[in-house]
Chains A and B, each alone.
Chain A
Amino acid sequence: MKKQKDERIIAEINKIYKIGFMILTVGILIDLFLQFTGVHEDGDGIGFSFRLIEFGTFMLAQIVCAVLMARKGMMDDNKYAEAEVFPKKHYMGVSLIAGAATGIVFAIMLVISNPFVQTMQQKLLVGGSVSVFMFFLTATMIYAVYYIIFQVAKKRREKMYESDDEK
């Protein structure tokens, strides 16, 4: 049987996703408008960077949605949303996956873009050390951020419900 999801959490997350969608839509429309109206990135000397608009829009939508969700202690609408006890295993798994993904992406970017890394041995050494460093750094940071967000959100909720204790 499919597990029933909490309609309130879904409703609240949908509101946040809508804000993210609007930011992305407006940002991309501005980007497209500027490109179609003849403002060229490299040709006209304006020094305009479409990449900056695209990246800025993407980051703005991500950060706004993440902050709005984090304020409520909801990183998703799964069974760990608004848990009473910090779900260590779940967030450990999420942190490790995020750390691994970041490590791999950083290693590939560095190996491809760095002109001083030529031989296979150098690539393996640089890529390996960077990926391991980024893996631990990212995983630790994300886990810590999740923990802090969870505790802050829990305190906010407790304050909200303190007049309506259980029983």
Chain B
Amino acid sequence: MKNKKIKIARIEKDMSQTDLAEAIGVTRQTIGLIEAGGYNPTLNLCIAICKTLGRTLDELFWIEEGE
């Protein structure tokens, strides 16, 4: 399942996938795959993404029913 929330938060923060990847210490492909729904990140990586983008886990990773 695609994660549009991360993509939107990243764009709002004016960061490219490369910027976010470098800030967290992963490759750009990993960010691309998380956004595309091709990889489920560990909790540690989720937290790192949230901290970098200034959002909470709920805001970026919680999925409401029917979403």
B residues with a Cβ closer than 8 A to A are: 2, 7, 11, 16-18, 24-30, 32-33, 35-36, 38-39, 41-42, 44-45
Q: Kindly provide the distance from the CB of A108 to the nearest chain B CB, expressed in whole angstroms.
A: 40
* Contact status A160-B17, CB under 8 Å: no
Contact with B along A1-37 (1 / 0, CB 8 A): 0011111110000000000000000000000000000
Chain B: interface secondary structure? helix
The smallest beta-carbon distance between A144 and chain B, in angstroms, is 24
Cα–Cα, bound, A140→B52 (Å): 43
Interface centre among B2, B7, B32 (most CB of A within 10 A): B32
Q: Are A166 and B33 in contact (CB under 8 A)?
A: no
| Choice from A8, A163, A167 contacting B26 with Cβ under 8 Å | A8
Q: How far is B21's CA from A9's CA once the two chains are assembled, in angstroms?
A: 13
- Chain A binding site: helix, strand, loop or mixed by DSSP? loop
Q: A8-B39, A160-B36 are in contact. Are A167 and B29 (CB under 8 A)?
A: no
What are 11 of the A-B contact pairs (CB < 8 Å)? Answer: A7-B41, A7-B45, A8-B41, A9-B30, A82-B27, A82-B28, A157-B29, A161-B29, A161-B32, A164-B36, A167-B11
Total A-B Cβ pairs within 8 A: 49
Q: A166-B17, A167-B16 are in contact. Are A4 and B25 (CB under 8 A)?
A: yes
- For A4, list chain B residues within 8 Å (CB): 24-26
Q: How many residues of A contact B (CB 8 A)?
A: 17
**A152 within 8 A of partner (CB):** no
A residues engaging B (CB < 8 A)? Answer: 3-9, 81-82, 84, 157, 160-161, 163-164, 166-167
Give the shortest distance, in Å, between A81 (CB) and chain B (any CB).
7
